[in-house]
Structure 1
């Protein structure tokens, strides 16, 4: 361990300001860096980007201009230069008491040179595309309204026949009006046509293992460089990835082009979620943390060595104050500067629960009340962290976790032959039913705390997984791939060209194919269950990765989305489009709370490879009176008895189509469901009561500090339990609570975190009997009550 190792058991200086990194203006630049244990720190200014030993002038060597920094309180070192430094590069050079000298990029860098060698000085205003100040995030009335689509930037456009000019780049998302050879919309127009609400982008912040200067550059011989990577090897957390830029040598271009991508998606009504990797860094010694604050940013095991819960050699110590601050500052920057609408946390189990709680609370309160937050509630190995964010920890805390229980129940194991409900295994009906209910009797308090999915980027994708369970890998001639190469040598491209992943497909009967039916059954369950649905890009095109279960560094031949598949498998795309439209158009599939689900969802059958349930009494304020959903995992047809009704049952989804309007009806008390298919029926249109009324609670504190404060609410009829204050309005924090229209009184307690402190008044009640639309309530902090304020601390208006 480095002799400058910080003993985290002792109190160290911390800094609470919001101005770490570079503050640039044309008149001056202010540099601030946290290096609490250094003997001295210098700012080193460079003319060149650090990718070449020689500068632009032959024989000129850029050794840098050294500027001494001044030590400030909180372990901060600062330098202010009254000159215009735009276009230059910089590093920090720290000298420690034992004589060790380390030079590193700014951990808070907002721009870097190619391959992240040096921090860059840019004017962020120059990177705003035209109309950026008018860019608005699409509205998300409730997290249950989201339909997430996971996508890799390069995969989106890399195919040779994609027709996109900017292959593999952010700017491919700005190419409108593109069509495949069959005349169907592709690219960003395809995403809008499909109807998804959120694109989840696999990591787009700067990562280390792709050479941004291309395979023929001077740096391409470095052993860790590849041509492709998913991006879970972070280098600079606050900078976009340069390989997705049309000019990675210009620090401002990647920033501008990422903003253009976000702007284009927003223009299509699609929100943007960033996949973030705050659990580890690719490199320790060459990263931005270790050289400046040795060992502080990394978690250690009980022997003093770096812990390896990530599986890649290190993990960030998120529980330490300045690491927690760094993560929150970074997320706030992306949400504000780039208009990002949500975050997915990689290996969230390695992030401590306090950090995750503060992220959810503070980002929504201070930056964007509509942020969507979710992550992986597991680790990649053992970790000494005591407060891991695992399944169940998220209860009431404002973020969601992936439901791997539901995933496994539907498909089986992730990479092998193991089967689930949709792939031929018996006895999975109970686990499926739990997932359908949003896991509210398993590990959630609310359906929007679970992300329901069958496959994501890890492991076999859906098509290849179903082929594996059918024993068709060999017949389909799927190659054996490891780390982006053929296991026994040869050309990946040739092996892919020789494969036949769609073996036995009848082009005149696409929806009759068994593999197709199993994939539609699997994701059909996801799209009609309570919770937040998540799809992997290309499922609607029957995307295959040719049996590669870990394509993180495989070539485009494996990973690229083949847009021609839309023409080949159009009925599949239309089926997905119909299911998404059905979900989006009917709140019964998007219930908001535990109590609402328990009141509205009833299982009709859960045996014999059949799961059937009823969404009753205009569930969630739906216009359809009663809805029946049936999943049949048997190879052959089954009959299901329907609830009694004074009208017929109208079918909107079966083995032939998924629509939002009825295309046939059933008069009999039973209906037959074809094998390996689903069915959705409704009985009649009704006149539903309003779904809810809203109690708006405004909380006022004289100290203005709302961190950790929340409401514990009961009697809503929709979602009891913890409710956060989501936004600031006129100096007060505001929470909005949904209650049933007929509710006359709701109880609440004002508390700090999980009962660390509560309002001394104890249980309080809000009378909302006089309104069918809602009431507004103002709560004053108890200090105001005790200071002689004669006004009632609870004020209410209709």
Structure 2
């Protein structure tokens, strides 16, 4: 079971319960009594149950009094055989959680006034030492740390240890373990050691943007820092780096804006970056050799070094990320951070597991680590110190890096209370922060009613969830590449598409997926799975490029005109392709990059999507704030199947709008309500400048596979 040879095994599985295991067959007579001892004395154990299981003789024993976690314990048999007590399932008990919950805000390392302090939470350790490498030195010193209340170990040194490397050595279950500080805010290259930092030396001037009013006002543009500028024709000087993502004025082969300037020109309000906290999968000393999306989290409070011009300098990545964020703010765009608190890269090697084995992760009914994430571990967000870590981390990113929102990877692994506490924390620090997440129902041992899933959206009223129903209705199943959705001509999805366009709040079906439109993140493409263009190639491979482009434009237009939060995958506006790669998380950069030559090849579509964003941002009809508004001011025109026609009214009686959708390959002529209708969008053009006017009693002609937006005010 471990490297220490033991005659039998004893585990502390609850605050007053020890499980004793003897391998069968027994080498000694079966014991009839046990004693629990430590250096201060001992007490008898009461045998509550005896059974044989999986090649072991198992005794479940109890004792009275309090277990002294700060010291080593042994179990002795009546025959005089002895073994040490190992920390077992006790760390997953409610009693342990309550006993050792630490509320302080001083975990980690701090350097000021010529002194340096260190604090780490390790309640099951019987000895902890700080392993410190002074700046510029290759030798280390071991400094004994003192145990305080709630299982916190600390040491205060009268030295200025700025930029010193450090780890913690913890003695648990008769073994020394070495761990990087989970609260580290700076690390060495490739994250092998924490680094003592003076964050004031990394400060940059923060751009104060006005509070964001409502999630429905957002237009989210998802990208990856390396993808964003690495293309050889993208015009960036610092390709693939924080510095590159911060560059403005870059142009592509057609002389048109690329990178940040392109996103600003497009009209997106938020850029959501795939994870940029420190992750595994890319060697920071040779970042060009490997590619990774970043869902292998190592250090949650440190920027990834492969995006820095100098990953050897612990301050460089911090400063460059801050400068990137403020450059984006100067462009009038906010930054959403993709966060991966649902799992770690390798559980056994993570600081969490090394410092407090068994505490930070969920276990199934067989006592094995659960795997709802599919990567071998599920973070136990419901445990008090695990929840605290997430909240402390969120608070840190907002305060130190001026983040404007968070996207929670596999949010369904996390619990509802944690997510609502995050919402509360964000609201207390900055108005109008956008919080969205993947509310998939995953097989993790958390009660169904406690999971932060779409099913429980009523318990998460201020958090957006990726609407997979919208995705699959509009484009077709994500997991069946050849299945076509409404925008690809499948009329069987007409009623569901109408419901999705109206915010998935049950306006037409009476079966709401969400309570409010601000909870619905509408999308047809993201970094995951095939791009929409690649799905179209599979579904409509024999239909020609023109039809594929029209279907693509229709699907993207519906994302932007539907109630809720529109979400665009970067490059979607110019038919992004990954040449059929449906899981490019570590594929070469020429699969993943934003191809600015492709943008130059399809300028009309990029211009059209820009116009659709203008329409959305200018007309409140397409970004209503509440389900009540939607029910009161959107009605169905009752067009023949599979056409969709929706009529919007302004709640102040100052205007009307109409959205017409034609997924067929035929022109249709639609009778309009009374009034003079100005056309803002048709199959070729979109924007806030009217294209033409349709007089009263005339019919609107809607071209094949297109939308039409009309206003009357």
TM-score grouping bracket, smaller chain normalisation: 0.7 to 0.9
Select which of 699, 706, 712 maps to 1:670: 699
Partner of 2:95, secondary structure, is: coil
2:420 aligned with 1:372: no
Displacement after TM superposition at 1:455 (Å): 0.9
Contact 1:311/1:381 (<8 A) preserved: no
2:670 aligned with 1:640: yes
Indicate the residue corresponding to 1:173 in structure 2. Answer: 245
Indicate the residue corresponding to 1:538 in structure 2. Answer: 571
Contact 2:110/2:196 (<8 A) preserved: no
2:173 aligned with 1:143: no
Partner of 1:394, secondary structure, is: helix
Indicate the residue corresponding to 2:230 in structure 1. Answer: 158
**What is the distance in 1 between the residues matched to 2:251 and 2:290?**
27
Displacement after TM superposition at 1:379 (Å): 4.6
Displacement after TM superposition at 1:10 (Å): 4.7
Displacement after TM superposition at 1:6 (Å): 4.5
**What is the distance in 2 between the residues matched to 1:107 and 1:446?**
37
Partner of 2:492, secondary structure, is: coil
Contact 1:157/1:187 (<8 A) preserved: yes
Indicate the residue corresponding to 2:679 in structure 1. Answer: 651
Indicate the residue corresponding to 1:769 in structure 2. Answer: none
2:193 aligned with 1:126: no
Task: Normalising by structure 2, report the TM-score.
Answer: 0.84
Select which of 165, 186, 209 maps to 1:89: 165
Indicate the residue corresponding to 2:475 in structure 1. Answer: 411
**What is the distance in 2 between the residues matched to 1:518 and 1:283?**
42
Which structure 2 residues correspond to residues 393-412 of structure 1 after superposition, within 5 A? Answer: 393-395=456-458, 397-412=461-476
Which structure 2 residues correspond to residues 739-754 of structure 1 after superposition, within 5 A? Answer: none
Indicate the residue corresponding to 2:351 in structure 1. Answer: 288
**What is the distance in 1 between the residues matched to 2:704 and 2:653?**
29
Displacement after TM superposition at 1:47 (Å): 4.0
**What is the distance in 1 between the residues matched to 2:267 and 2:287?**
38
**What is the distance in 2 between the residues matched to 1:185 and 1:438?**
33
Contact 1:642/1:670 (<8 A) preserved: yes
Select which of 314, 323, 331 maps to 2:386: 323
Indicate the residue corresponding to 2:540 in structure 1. Answer: 470
Displacement after TM superposition at 1:297 (Å): 0.4
After superposition, the Cα gap between the structure-2 partners of 1:215 and 1:207, relative to the gap in structure 1 and judged at 3 Å, is closer
Contact 1:145/1:532 (<8 A) preserved: yes
After superposition, the Cα gap between the structure-2 partners of 1:404 and 1:584, relative to the gap in structure 1 and judged at 3 Å, is same
Select which of 1, 15, 19 maps to 2:106: 19
After superposition, the Cα gap between the structure-2 partners of 1:121 and 1:632, relative to the gap in structure 1 and judged at 3 Å, is same
Displacement after TM superposition at 1:298 (Å): 0.5
**What is the distance in 2 between the residues matched to 1:540 and 1:10?**
50
2:176 aligned with 1:101: yes
Q: How big is each residue's C-alpha offset from its partner over 1:774-798, in whole Å with a ceiling of 9 and x where there is no partner?
A: xxxxxxxxxxxxxxxxxxxxxxxxx
Q: How big is each residue's C-alpha offset from its partner over 1:169-222, in whole Å with a ceiling of 9 and x where there is no partner?
A: 010122221112222111111111000000000001110111111179xxxxxx
Indicate the residue corresponding to 2:409 in structure 1. Answer: 346
Select which of 689, 694, 704 maps to 1:661: 689
Partner of 1:428, secondary structure, is: helix
Contact 1:422/1:633 (<8 A) preserved: yes
After superposition, the Cα gap between the structure-2 partners of 1:412 and 1:238, relative to the gap in structure 1 and judged at 3 Å, is same
**What is the distance in 2 between the residues matched to 1:446 and 1:76?**
43
Indicate the residue corresponding to 2:87 in structure 1. Answer: 4
Partner of 1:289, secondary structure, is: helix
Displacement after TM superposition at 1:63 (Å): 4.6
Partner of 1:344, secondary structure, is: strand
Indicate the residue corresponding to 1:630 in structure 2. Answer: 660
**What is the distance in 2 between the residues matched to 1:429 and 1:418?**
15
Higher helix share: 2
**What is the distance in 2 between the residues matched to 1:215 and 1:141?**
39
Contact 2:395/2:425 (<8 A) preserved: no
Displacement after TM superposition at 1:465 (Å): 1.3
Contact 1:587/1:622 (<8 A) preserved: no
Displacement after TM superposition at 1:139 (Å): 3.3
Indicate the residue corresponding to 1:682 in structure 2. Answer: 711
Structure showing greater radius of gyration is 2
Q: How big is each residue's C-alpha offset from its partner over 1:285-333, in whole Å with a ceiling of 9 and x where there is no partner?
A: 2211111000100100000000000001111001100000100110110
Indicate the residue corresponding to 1:750 in structure 2. Answer: none
Q: How big is each residue's C-alpha offset from its partner over 1:593-622, in whole Å with a ceiling of 9 and x where there is no partner?
A: 111111111111365221110101x24x58
Q: How big is each residue's C-alpha offset from its partner over 1:421-464, in whole Å with a ceiling of 9 and x where there is no partner?
A: 00121211111111112111212121101101111111101111
Indicate the residue corresponding to 2:316 in structure 1. Answer: 253
Select which of 480, 483, 493 maps to 1:428: 493
**What is the distance in 1 between the residues matched to 2:311 and 2:529?**
31
Displacement after TM superposition at 1:538 (Å): 0.3
**What is the distance in 2 between the residues matched to 1:394 and 1:205?**
28
Structure 2 stretches of 5 or more lacking a match? Answer: 3-85, 507-511
**What is the distance in 1 between the residues matched to 2:639 and 2:422?**
39
**What is the distance in 1 between the residues matched to 2:292 and 2:442?**
19
Select which of 596, 619, 622 maps to 1:589: 622
Contact 1:29/1:80 (<8 A) preserved: yes
Select which of 60, 67, 74 maps to 2:150: 74
Indicate the residue corresponding to 2:260 in structure 1. Answer: 188
Partner of 2:456, secondary structure, is: coil
Indicate the residue corresponding to 2:38 in structure 1. Answer: none
Partner of 2:615, secondary structure, is: helix
**What is the distance in 1 between the residues matched to 2:123 and 2:395?**
24
Partner of 1:32, secondary structure, is: strand
Contact 1:206/1:235 (<8 A) preserved: yes
**What is the distance in 1 between the residues matched to 2:574 and 2:602?**
6
Contact 1:350/1:385 (<8 A) preserved: no
Select which of 117, 129, 143 maps to 2:192: 117
Contact 1:352/1:385 (<8 A) preserved: no
**What is the distance in 1 between the residues matched to 2:618 and 2:287?**
48
Q: How big is each residue's C-alpha offset from its partner over 1:364-422, in whole Å with a ceiling of 9 and x where there is no partner?
A: 12x11221101001155454454211114232531110110011000001151011000
Displacement after TM superposition at 1:335 (Å): 0.8
Which structure 2 residues correspond to residues 221-240 of structure 1 after superposition, within 5 A? Answer: 227-240=290-303
Contact 1:273/1:342 (<8 A) preserved: yes
After superposition, the Cα gap between the structure-2 partners of 1:21 and 1:644, relative to the gap in structure 1 and judged at 3 Å, is same
Contact 1:403/1:452 (<8 A) preserved: yes
Q: How big is each residue's C-alpha offset from its partner over 1:478-510, in whole Å with a ceiling of 9 and x where there is no partner?
A: xxxxxxxxxxxxxxxxxxxxxxxxx965xxxxx
Indicate the residue corresponding to 2:12 in structure 1. Answer: none
Indicate the residue corresponding to 1:443 in structure 2. Answer: 513
Displacement after TM superposition at 1:136 (Å): 1.6
After superposition, the Cα gap between the structure-2 partners of 1:542 and 1:253, relative to the gap in structure 1 and judged at 3 Å, is same
Partner of 2:471, secondary structure, is: helix
2:576 aligned with 1:514: no
Partner of 2:591, secondary structure, is: helix
Superposed CA RMSD in Å reads 1.8
Displacement after TM superposition at 1:564 (Å): 2.2
**What is the distance in 1 between the residues matched to 2:327 and 2:192?**
30
Indicate the residue corresponding to 2:637 in structure 1. Answer: 604
Partner of 2:386, secondary structure, is: helix
Indicate the residue corresponding to 2:122 in structure 1. Answer: 35
Displacement after TM superposition at 1:124 (Å): 0.7
2:325 aligned with 1:262: yes
Select which of 282, 296, 307 maps to 1:244: 307
Indicate the residue corresponding to 2:79 in structure 1. Answer: none
Contact 1:644/1:669 (<8 A) preserved: no
